[in-house]
Amino acid sequence: MSDTHVVVLAAGKGTRMKSLEPKVVHRALGVPLIEHVLRAADPLRPQTTVVILGHRAERVQEILGKRLGLLFALQEPQLGTAHALLQAEPHLRGCRGTVVLLYGDVPLLRPATLRTLVETHHARGALATVLTAHVDRPFGYGRIVREDGRIVAIVEEKDATPEQRAITEINSGIYAFELEPLFGALREIAPANAQGEYYLPDLVRIYRSRGLTVETVVLDDAREILGVNSRKELAELTAILKSNRADELMAAGVTIEDPASAWIGPDVTIGTDTILHPNVYLEGRTRIGRGCEVHSGVRIVDSAIDDGVVINNFCVIVESHVSSGARVGPFAHIRPQSDVGEQAHVGNFVELKKTALGPGSKANHLSYLGDATIGANVNVGAGTITCNYDGEKKNPTVIEDGAFIGSDSQLIAPVRVGRGAYVAAGSSITEDVPPGALAVARGKQVNKDGWVAKKKK
């Protein structure tokens, strides 16, 4: 197969978004629109990928910062789609092969569609191939004009005759072009139209007049090439992405009780026989194992959840790890760099931050555990707090295996509770507790017999 190059147009402002941000950095299902497009093109293994920038170019570049090997070209001012593609020429000079042209705002585009486009383009020996679709409401799109079944021109809405406006086959704006003679022909395009722009679709007429083969590929599902122009469209396309993602996961053996309310990002993986109750949010690079149960109102971001974990209602888990068989929540907050061990329990109103809770350990009620390393089979009583912050820096707490922390204790860090030690309820622990010891650090109780009766006299 010959070399493939990708050019993505992303210079436009997206005025109708009414945003300070450029349109293509807005996110659909947590991923910037332009990243969706680049992912669709990744399987083509392009030799060169050029993104055409204009409005707030530096911001788009910043959002794409993690992608290696991208080339950028600035289009200033923005004089139309043909002019935009011409800006890629310096990066493609001396290259051979096929250019696939994409827009940065079409997040539903599928890799398989681009593969079909390129394969058809090559199989038919075309110099240009246009991706088209049949739609009920073609308003605003370029119309595909055919003679004897063959494409002869694309006419923009504003330049179309009433008969042409009635055509329901539209230009997706996505094409495959042979590099030779693309850029020479682009320079022949003049802004002789209602909008005074350099129209890329004019290439069809130019190629036809030279007898160069132009082909079309007609999409089955026209939704794939829908672009985002407003916040409403962003929500509509996000809903489609969301529903597609839920369908894929259900097909792979995940139970999703209410797919309409399941918000699952494209980079999330979920094992078979896991059950998602309504209204869960699984974001970023989250991985969930097999046979888990995630109850309503849970949000998990960039975290790893092993097999057989139960996460009860209304928990937030961020950048953390929960080991197999653990139970979390309801109403638990697991903050970054925490690690919940196998079969461990984190109960209601318990907050973990940068804390490891060892296997079989339990912190079931109303606790703050921060910067703590807690061993196996530890019982952390209700209301226990690690006082990790001294006003200047964070200090560690260590609780060794099998220790028992009585309810409503404060562990004033840095401090260590030794293996199997007990801390009496209501203690404020400032010094290390030796293994096997009992630490009592609270005022001694005094009972005054008959005190109430005396007071009433």
Question: Is residue 162 helix, strand or coil?
Answer: helix
Angle at 386 between CA 383 and CA 390, to 5 degrees: 135
Among 233, 58, 205, 77, residue whose Cα is nearest residue 140: 233
CB of 210 to ligand UD1, least distance (A): 20
Interface with ligand UD1 by CB under 6 A: which range of 72-80, 285-293, 352-360, 380-388? Answer: 72-80
| Cα–Cα distance for residue pair 406/336, rounded to 1 Å | 26
Active site residue 277: no
Task: Find the binder of ligand UD1 among 32, 46, 80, 381 (CB under 6 A).
Answer: 80
Among 278, 267, 274, residue whose Cα is nearest residue 288: 274
Asked if 9 is part of the footprint of ligand UD1 (rule: CB under 6 A), the reply reads: yes
Task: Find the binder of ligand UD1 among 141, 177, 368, 422 (CB under 6 A).
Answer: 141
For 361-423, the three-class secondary structure string (H helix, E strand, C coil) is CEEEEEEEEECEEECCCCEECCCCEEECECCCCECCEEECCCCEECCCCEEECCEEECCCCEE
Asked whether 269 and 289 are in contact (CB, 8 A), the reply is: no
Out of 91, 122, 134, 365, pick the active-site residue: 365
Task: Find the binder of ligand UD1 among 4, 49, 81, 216 (CB under 6 A).
Answer: 81
For 339, what's the count of Cα atoms within 13 Å in the CB-facing half-sphere? 11
The footprint of Ca ion on residues 189-248 (CB under 5 A) is 227
State both tokens at 115.
């593969």
> Of 62 and 76, which has the nearer Cβ to ligand UD1?
76
Question: Is residue 255 helix, strand or coil?
Answer: strand
CB of 110 to ligand UD1, least distance (A): 17
CB of 340 to ligand UD1, least distance (A): 45
> Of 78 and 320, which has the nearer Cβ to ligand UD1?
78
| Cα–Cα distance for residue pair 115/455, rounded to 1 Å | 90
Interaction partner, residue 275 (Ca ion, ligand UD1, none; CB < 5-8 Å by kind)? none
Cis peptide before 181 (omega within 30 of 0): yes
> Of 193 and 373, which has the nearer Cβ to ligand UD1?
193
| Cα–Cα distance for residue pair 445/171, rounded to 1 Å | 84
Asked if 359 is part of the footprint of ligand UD1 (rule: CB under 6 A), the reply reads: no
Asked whether 309 and 291 are in contact (CB, 8 A), the reply is: no
| Cα–Cα distance for residue pair 392/411, rounded to 1 Å | 17
Task: Find the binder of ligand UD1 among 32, 46, 104, 329 (CB under 6 A).
Answer: 104
> Of 96 and 158, which has the nearer Cβ to ligand UD1?
158
Task: Find the binder of ligand UD1 among 78, 323, 355, 377 (CB under 6 A).
Answer: 78
Asked if 84 is part of the footprint of ligand UD1 (rule: CB under 6 A), the reply reads: yes
Asked if 22 is part of the footprint of ligand UD1 (rule: CB under 6 A), the reply reads: no
Cα dihedral across residues 225, 153, 134, 111: positive or negative: negative
Interaction partner, residue 12 (ligand UD1, Ca ion, none; CB < 5-8 Å by kind)? ligand UD1
Interface with ligand UD1 by CB under 6 A: which range of 3-11, 107-115, 300-308, 372-380? Answer: 3-11
CB of 133 to ligand UD1, least distance (A): 9
- In one-letter notation, the amino acid at residue 146 is R
State both tokens at 398.
């260590």
Asked if 75 is part of the footprint of ligand UD1 (rule: CB under 6 A), the reply reads: yes
For Ca ion, the binding residues (CB under 5 A) are: 227
Give the residue numbers marked as catalytic: 365
For ligand UD1, the binding residues (CB under 6 A) are: 9-12, 52, 54, 75, 78-81, 83-84, 103-105, 141-142, 154, 156, 170-173, 199-201, 227
